[in-house]
Amino acid sequence: MQNLVEQPVGIIGGTGLTALEGLQITGERNMASAWGTPSSVLTSGLLGQQRVLFLARHGNPHRIPPHQINYRANIQALFDAGVRTLVGVNAVGGIHPDMGPAHIAIPDQLIDYTWGRKGTFFEGELDKVTHIDFTWPYSEPARAILIEQAQRLGLIFSSHGVYGATQGPRLETAAEIRCMERDGCDLAGMTGMPEAALAAELGMQYVSLCLVVNYAAGKSDTAITMADIQRALDDGMIAVKTLLQASVAGFGTLQARA
Ligand code: HPA
């Protein structure tokens, strides 16, 4: 049994979420991990009554591109600090027609198109070979909490979706997005993997909270501009933060994955 009061909830903020307003900050920790240095300090604080540890995935200020993030250091540092339930906030492109700018999605599946990233803790001198069950890449109990709170808040959101993790840092071509759509992807993002797999390897309850910031390549008549992305971030991040605030207390009660 874990200590339900003390267990901190981890939040990894992505593009548009390098700091978490509303977090009553109690400290900052520079964590080195066996895999190197995480993207940012771990900021500890209280969101409502819930202890939270916040990490800025791209650094603070935002400077580390998706393919150069040390995902292993980030996940290990949060684990070492006691995090067993972790929410990754991801800015994404919308492939599904219902998933336009400022839409929130809580994906239930993913497809990994990334390459060359260090995506496992199981390497080097091992006692045994381990293959984790990754049939359901996201924590269903954590997803259920987000869905319940999003409904309660009256948000317009998608409770399912397939996240396609692309390599970046460039955006995709229109043909790549058509290919991903045929594969069944609803969303395209650059940071969902290997984060989800690493969290699963450590037995964490991991969930992704996606904010659509643009229609994916070829899905609208206009070019994708950073100004439009920024506008969608400004419009949508308020709802994301509200949803996080409403959900963390529930996350804090979850047990580690079997
Ligand atoms: N594709 C991949 N990643 C993204 C996008 C996109 O269109 N928008 C924001 N992150």
DSSP 13-74: E-TT-SS-TT-EEEEEE---BTTB--SSPEEEEEETTEEEEEEETTTTTT---GGG--HHHH
Q: Given this model, what pLDDT does residue 197 score?
A: 98
Q: Is the pLDDT of residue 5 over 60?
A: no
Q: Does domain 9-117+133-251 have CATH number 3.40.50.1580?
A: yes
CB 158 within 8 A of CB 105: yes
Residue 81 Cα to ligand 1 midpoint, Å, equals 30
Cα end-to-end distance, the chain, whole Å: 12
Q: Which of 166, 191, 193 to mutate to test the pocket of ligand 1 (most atoms within 8 A of CB)?
A: 166
Residue 190 Cα to ligand 1 midpoint, Å, equals 7
Look up residue 227 and give its two tokens: 């100004």
Residue 153 Cα to ligand 1 midpoint, Å, equals 26
Residue with tokens 């999003």: 150
Q: Is the CB of 45 under 6 A from ligand 1?
A: no
Q: Is the CB of 89 under 6 A from ligand 1?
A: no
- Residues 190-224: tens digit of each pLDDT: 999 999 999 999 999 999 999 999 999 999 999 99
Look up residue 89 and give its two tokens: 């906030």
- Residues 119-148: tens digit of each pLDDT: 999 998 888 878 999 999 999 999 999 999
Residue 65 Cα to ligand 1 midpoint, Å, equals 12
> What is the three-class DSSP state of 138?
coil
- Residues 71-81: tens digit of each pLDDT: 999 999 999 99
How far is it, in rounded angstroms, from Cα 12 to Cα 69?
A: 12
* Residue 2's pLDDT band (cuts 50, 70, 90): very low
**Residues contacting 16, CB < 8 A, separation 6+:** 91, 211, 213, 233, 237
Backbone angles phi, psi at 163, to 5 degrees: -90, 120
- Residues 80-115: tens digit of each pLDDT: 999 999 999 999 999 999 999 999 999 999 999 999
Q: Given this model, what pLDDT does residue 165 score?
A: 98
CB 145 within 8 A of CB 205: no
Backbone angles phi, psi at 57, to 5 degrees: -60, -35
> What is the three-class DSSP state of 246?
helix
Q: Given this model, what pLDDT does residue 4 score?
A: 45
Q: Is the pLDDT of residue 3 over 60?
A: no
Q: Given this model, what pLDDT does residue 257 score?
A: 73
Q: Given this model, what pLDDT does residue 166 score?
A: 98
- Residues 30-82: tens digit of each pLDDT: 988 889 999 999 999 999 899 999 999 999 888 999 999 999 999 999 999 99
Mean pLDDT within 9-35 = 89
Q: What is the number of the ligand 1 atom nearest to the C-alpha of 217? A: 7
CA distances from 113 to 135, 188, 194, 209, 223 (A): 17, 10, 10, 19, 23
Q: Given this model, what pLDDT does residue 128 score?
A: 83
Q: Given this model, what pLDDT does residue 16 score?
A: 83
Q: Given this model, what pLDDT does residue 17 score?
A: 86
Q: Is the CB of 181 under 6 A from ligand 1?
A: no
CA distances from 178 to 55, 181, 184, 190, 239 (A): 33, 5, 10, 17, 29
Mean pLDDT within 213-242 = 94
* Residue 7's pLDDT band (cuts 50, 70, 90): confident
Q: Given this model, what pLDDT does residue 1 score?
A: 40
